[in-house]
Chain A
Amino acid sequence: MADFDRIYDVAVVGGGNAALCAAIMAKQNGCSVIVIEHAPKAFRGGNSRHTRNLRAMHEGPTSVLTDSYLEDEYWDDLLRVTGGNTDEKLARMTIRASSRVMPWMQDCGVRFQPSLTGTLNLSRTNAFFLGGGKALVNAYYDTAERLGIDIVYDSEVLSMDLDDGFAKSIAITSKGFPHTVRAKTYVVSSGGFQGNIEWLREYWGEAADNFLIRGTPYAKGRMLKNLLGQGVQQIGDPTQFHAVAIDARAPQFDGGIVTRLDCIPFSIVVDRNARRFYDEGEDVWPKRYAIWGRLVAQQEGQIAWSIIDAKSATLFMPSVFPAIRANSIRELAGLIGLDADALEKTVSDYNAAVQPGNFNPQILDDCRTEGLEPAKTHWARRIDTPPYICYPHRPGITFTYLGVKVDEKARVIMSDGKPTANLFASGEIMAGSILGKGYLAGFGMTIGTVFGRIAGEEAAKHARN
């Protein structure tokens, strides 16, 4: 039972993977620990509940990972997706540590499975959680409870009393009542601010109202904003987020993995004016999955439609909402509210530009358009076989990049470059230090697990001194 009159050794802000790794680690190092989770119990775990795997370096095949995935290849992958917007020292440390976390995770009850289907072919690089991220979160909470960690749900941290780099207390509201939590050390693992539409509106204006948030609505960024306002060093571009083009019919929050749509490489994608705006066949889907969120966000009304025909209907993972079907392009335009003449012209212009080729969905094939702007450079086939099929897209935001800067001991750094005395961070709130741009599947969980463990251990060391 949580005791708000007590001085804990470690107070952990947040209740996702990174928070729990820190809490468990601190407890295992002999500390008294309180975890303060904003969500109610049913929705605990932040974005971790929507995750599925963790990217792990390994030198040879393991029970769940095939072949090997060594530090340099991992680093190259990270360098490629971030375009250099990373910190090599922290990144390499994270990568090396990722090879050692799995046994500890298993000790905490996390179970892995060999990857099967629908997973963008990640069985070499990524270890899959049996049952997914919520099963992992359940296992960590179970372990935390068994170890005697105090957990409070429905409790939002409002502010931290940070005095000259020393964290004194935090003000929270727990089930509607204000409290002050005091601890010797603090770990903030409260994620990004993608669940805070108002904050997104500061950068994106009214467009933010059309964004869908793929994960937890509890990522309000309150702690993040509070710390940055008290002279903590900022990292990452506040205007930027990771987004994919999800089904526009998804709920505003928490739609998770099932709202994804993998049909774009086989489609033409049109905007509100029924015009194409980008090369749908630029590269294999896993490499282009993440650019389409931004692309759709930049269109009028933040909406787009992908259109395919019967030939391509089963080339991608089934999607959760039914496809919109029609027997003619004109009828389809009517169903989705686009100008029928304009859509017919876009499709016929595209069809006329399609060159003969050997269609192969598995590789960068030679099916392309000629003389079309923008071109479709692979998997371009004529859209001529009814029923015609359409899926609407909106930007689905996964996480924001803005965060606090940390050092290799997970210590939060102040603007003047000095580390704070007793404040640590792990997870999405500091991930921008390593992943300043782009995304590498399963890397968020790697950062959360590695830094959660470090933050917990370092906080424990500090608290016991």
Chain B
Amino acid sequence: MLATEATLEAQRAIAICNACRYCEGYCAVFPAMELQRDFTVTDMSYLANLCHNCNGCYHACQFSPPHAFGINLPKTFAEIRLESYAEYAWPKPFADAYRKNGVLVSAITAGSIALVLFLTMLIQSGSVMFGPQTGPGAFYRIIPWGVMSSVAGATLIFSILALAMGARNFWVDTQTSLSGPINWAAIERAAHDVATLRYLGGAGEGCNDADASFSLARRHFHHALMYGFLLCFASTSVATLMDHFLGWEAPYSWYSLPVVLGTLGGIGMVAGCGGLVWVKMTTDPVPVARRMLGADYALLGLLAMAAASGLLLLMLRGTGAMGVLLCLHLGFILAFFVTMPYGKFVHGIYRGAALLKAAVERQKNTIVAG
């Protein structure tokens, strides 16, 4: 990680935090910080990605702006996170994706919808495209299964590879003398912290979503989005298995497993995205990194549209609107797969890695008493 204005500011702030330590009860960042006295640029990348942006430390800080020390860790760390996403991006030239991420993701989304619609219209006649399609294989009469699965599969596999390489870059870059070998206990702890969003919980009363008062809204909306997303993923996986191994072609009935999972997941995602946008719009603007907002809103918008178009497709799949809705939905999905390693989605990967690193360090080192 290279030194930037944000990392220099974070190093200045962390020296103050390490002399204060009032916030050590809030999250994993401060106990991780207390293991050290001197901090490198790379330590800033690690601590920034460990930060869950709950704003607890900002509102509790007697040195936050307008105090002369002007400590604003949530904002500084968010800026470093954005820089670290570019730093660890793979392949390297794609780091530029984080320059104007909101614009890029929006453009890719628009392009991907246009492309799917255009190509589909090219190969299908109007009567197929706009006529009601029902019965097994209805979707594949619009877009052939082979095309659908090979495009989705190829982009997803590339994206997963890129995400894995990014995680590897982060992991290698942030190794220090405090690091130790990965082990099951640490993985379990980190997985638990991710699954429960432990550090969006404070001591049970949540984050400073809007102001100095505590709220669990952000945690709950993030849960809705994350588990909604996983349900949708499960729905697609189940459907693929049913189609491929059992020969049961989509569409499936309302009460089939893929549709139930997908419906619940879709509703969760729409509610989660809407809620998170609302939290972002109503929060105290001072601890917010404006540079990150484009990526934030782009990902939330894309996920919400992907989920909403899926739900709409489910409701109108027996009508003549199905063809266009399918193209729209798959356009959103394609855009999501393509931008996954080059947008805000990566926060989950780096945060998970940082939590794993923190769990390993905690095992290996006892806190320096002082």
Residues of chain A within 8 A of B203, CB atoms compared = 111, 113, 130
B62, A256: Cβ atoms closer than 8 Å:
yes
B66, A257: Cβ atoms closer than 8 Å:
no
Check: A342 CB closer than 8 A to any chain B CB.
Answer: no
Residues of chain B within 8 A of A114, CB atoms compared = 25
List which A1-57 residues lie within 8 A (CB) of chain B. Answer: 42-43, 49-50, 52
In the complex formed, the residue of A with least CB distance to B208 is A138
Bound CA span A363–B361, Å: 29
> Interface with B: A286-294, A314-322, A420-428, which one?
A314-322
Bound CA span A412–B212, Å: 34
Q: Mark A40-82, 1 if CB is under 8 A from B, else 0.
A: 0011000001101000000000000000000000000000000
SS of A interface (majority): loop
Q: Contacting A138 at CB < 8 Å: which of B25, B60, B67, B202?
A: B60
B68, A131: Cβ atoms closer than 8 Å:
no
B22, A131: Cβ atoms closer than 8 Å:
yes
Q: Given A50-B62, A117-B367, A142-B213, answer yes or no on A130-B26 (Cβ-Cβ < 8 Å).
A: yes
Q: Mark B19-46, 1 if CB is under 8 A from A, else 0.
A: 1111111100001001001000000000
Nearest-CB distance from A256 to chain B (Å)? 5
B21, A111: Cβ atoms closer than 8 Å:
no
B370, A257: Cβ atoms closer than 8 Å:
no
Residues of chain B within 8 A of A116, CB atoms compared = 21, 24-25, 31, 367
In the complex formed, the residue of A with least CB distance to B25 is A113
Q: Contacting B22 at CB < 8 Å: which of A43, A109, A132, A316?
A: A132
Q: Given A116-B367, A131-B60, answer yes or no on A52-B19 (Cβ-Cβ < 8 Å).
A: no
Check: A457 CB closer than 8 A to any chain B CB.
Answer: no
B68, A254: Cβ atoms closer than 8 Å:
yes
Q: Given A132-B23, A135-B60, answer yes or no on A258-B370 (Cβ-Cβ < 8 Å).
A: no
Check: A448 CB closer than 8 A to any chain B CB.
Answer: no
In the complex formed, the residue of B with least CB distance to A130 is B25
B19, A258: Cβ atoms closer than 8 Å:
yes
B18, B21, B23, B203: which has the most chain A beta carbons within 10 Å? Answer: B21
Q: Mark B48-72, 1 if CB is under 8 A from A, else 0.
A: 0000000011011111011111000
B25, B67, B69, B368: which has the most chain A beta carbons within 10 Å? Answer: B25
Q: Contacting A257 at CB < 8 Å: which of B19, B25, B202?
A: B19
B370, A256: Cβ atoms closer than 8 Å:
no
Bound CA span A379–B61, Å: 35
B68, A251: Cβ atoms closer than 8 Å:
yes
Residues of chain A within 8 A of B34, CB atoms compared = 117-118
In the complex formed, the residue of B with least CB distance to A262 is B370
Bound CA span A117–B366, Å: 11
Q: Contacting B60 at CB < 8 Å: which of A118, A134, A262?
A: A134
Check: B15 CB closer than 8 A to any chain A CB.
Answer: yes
Check: A395 CB closer than 8 A to any chain B CB.
Answer: no
B368, A131: Cβ atoms closer than 8 Å:
no
Q: Given A130-B203, A256-B20, answer yes or no on A317-B62 (Cβ-Cβ < 8 Å).
A: no
Nearest-CB distance from B7 to chain A (Å)? 17
Nearest-CB distance from A409 to chain B (Å)? 32
Bound CA span A254–B65, Å: 12
B19, A131: Cβ atoms closer than 8 Å:
no
List which A245-265 residues lie within 8 A (CB) of chain B. Answer: 251, 254, 256-258, 260, 262
List which B148-204 residues lie within 8 A (CB) of chain A. Answer: 202-203
List which A105-124 residues lie within 8 A (CB) of chain B. Answer: 109, 111, 113-114, 116-118
Check: B369 CB closer than 8 A to any chain A CB.
Answer: yes
Check: B96 CB closer than 8 A to any chain A CB.
Answer: no
Nearest-CB distance from B365 to chain A (Å)? 13
B22, B24, B59, B63: which has the most chain A beta carbons within 10 Å? Answer: B22
Residues of chain A within 8 A of B23, CB atoms compared = 131-132
Check: B3 CB closer than 8 A to any chain A CB.
Answer: no
Check: B205 CB closer than 8 A to any chain A CB.
Answer: yes
In the complex formed, the residue of B with least CB distance to A120 is B370
B26, A134: Cβ atoms closer than 8 Å:
no
Residues of chain A within 8 A of B19, CB atoms compared = 257-258, 260, 317-320
Residues of chain B within 8 A of A281, CB atoms compared = none
Check: B103 CB closer than 8 A to any chain A CB.
Answer: no
A-B complex: 9 closest residue pairs judged by Cβ atoms: A131-B60, A132-B22, A113-B25, A138-B212, A135-B60, A258-B19, A317-B370, A320-B19, A118-B370
**Chain A residues within 8 Å of B, Cβ to Cβ:** 42-43, 49-50, 52, 109, 111, 113-114, 116-118, 128, 130-135, 138, 141-142, 251, 254, 256-258, 260, 262, 314, 316-320, 322
Q: With A111-B203, A113-B24, A138-B60 given, name 16 new contacts (CB 8 A).
A: A49-B62, A109-B214, A113-B203, A116-B24, A116-B25, A117-B368, A118-B369, A118-B370, A128-B25, A130-B25, A132-B22, A132-B60, A138-B59, A141-B212, A258-B69, A320-B19
9 contacts between A and B (CB under 8 A): A113-B203, A114-B25, A116-B31, A118-B369, A131-B56, A256-B62, A258-B20, A262-B370, A317-B19
